[in-house]
Amino acid sequence: MHNAAIAKLGVDFVYVPLPIAPENLAIAVKGFEAMGLRGFNVTIPHKQAIMPLLSEIAPVAQEIGAVNTVCLTEQGWYGTNTDAEGFLAPLLQLSTPPNWQHTTALILGNGGAARAVVAGCAELGCRSIQVVGRHPEKLEQFRQSWQNSPAGVHLSVHAWEKLPDLLPTAGLVVNTTPIGMHPHEQVSPLDFSDSLQSASVQIAAGTIAYDLIYTPRPTLFLQQMQAQGAILFDGLEMLVQQGAAALKLWLQQPVPVDVMRQSLLDHLHHAELQIQRNIN
């Protein structure tokens, strides 16, 4: 999708994948500097390891505790995180947005993507942020990591078993777990609570259900929430928008987001056909 936008803009750049082993990250970054790279994305397992190699880190990346986008400046490498911006983009485009200050956000999962979602919900000004996870120690660590947040993030953490009590009070429910992602389309994070399986999911009118997963579209979780009348968002737009935000930073000019979205949709459709061919 980056190269589709680059072609549309007619600028002389290329976006290429560069697999780098963890032990080679520092030397690779030195090499990028020597080669005059404009910038790069980093993904697992480099999102934290890159941080000491940068000369400046944006507050949002410090808050999230991970960098996904790096850009060369006169002062050196500048790192930021565009995932929260990507997550927020579709919510900010709602024609009749809820009153975020009265909205409780319920986040399923406490991994890397959940951190960007927490930062996004804090930026929206959500009244409260509740995080549900399966490992008490990880949940507690997650809670503590936000305690001294400069943005004043206040969140509470809960066991999965609490989901049936928490769901009816949430105005925004975000699945940040991989549950329901291809090839496990038949499962949903809502199946992981026995009391939810026996009772039907109860949600308030106007609840927004957001799944970060983009294959399949929609996931079983979104289908279950749709059956209860929720407004749905899948992870496609977040993926497009976090990429567009990075490209804009590198090129220092507006980028054609619609071209990037179409390119991604074409790629996903192609991947879907490929999967079907493998199955048949």
Beta-bridge partners for 73: 76
Q: Does 154 bind ligand NAP (CB under 6 A)?
A: no
Q: Closer to ligand NAP at the Cβ: 118 or 230?
A: 118
Q: Which of 239, 245, 247, 264 binds ligand NAP (CB under 6 A)?
A: 239
Q: C-beta of 62: minimal distance to ligand NAP in Å?
A: 18
The sign of the dihedral angle between the CA atoms of 228, 231, 237, 238 is negative
Q: C-beta of 118: minimal distance to ligand NAP in Å?
A: 11
For ligand NAP, how many residues bind (rule: CB under 6 A)?
25
Q: Which stretch binds ligand NAP (CB under 6 A): 32-40, 95-103, 176-184, 224-232?
A: 176-184
Q: Does 45 bind ligand NAP (CB under 6 A)?
A: no
> Among 189, 243, 191, 194, which Cα is nearest to 211's?
189
Q: Closer to ligand NAP at the Cβ: 47 or 230?
A: 47
Q: Which of 38, 135, 154, 267 binds ligand NAP (CB under 6 A)?
A: 135
Q: Does 242 bind ligand NAP (CB under 6 A)?
A: yes
Q: How far apart are CA 237 and CA 235, in angstroms?
A: 6
- Residues known to be catalytic: 47
Q: C-beta of 239: minimal distance to ligand NAP in Å?
A: 4
Q: C-beta of 219: minimal distance to ligand NAP in Å?
A: 9
Which residue, judged by CB position, is nearest to ligand NAP in the bound state?
A: 111
Let me know: does 211 contact 180? Beta carbons within 8 Å.
yes
| Sequence letter at residue 54 | L
Q: Does 65 bind ligand NAP (CB under 6 A)?
A: no
The long-range contacts involving 2-7, CB below 8 angstroms and separated by at least 24 positions, are 2/243, 2/247, 2/260, 3/263, 4/259, 4/260, 4/262, 4/263, 5/244, 5/247, 5/255, 5/256, 5/257, 5/259, 5/260, 5/263, 6/247
What's CA 149's distance to the chain center, in Å? 19
CB neighbour list of residue 232: distance below 8 Å, 6 or more residues apart: 208, 209, 210, 211, 218, 222, 225, 226
Q: Which of 238, 247, 257, 264 binds ligand NAP (CB under 6 A)?
A: 238
Q: Closer to ligand NAP at the Cβ: 39 or 90?
A: 90
Chain contacts with ligand NAP (rule: CB under 6 A): 83, 86, 109-114, 133-135, 138, 176-179, 181, 192, 212-214, 235, 238-239, 242
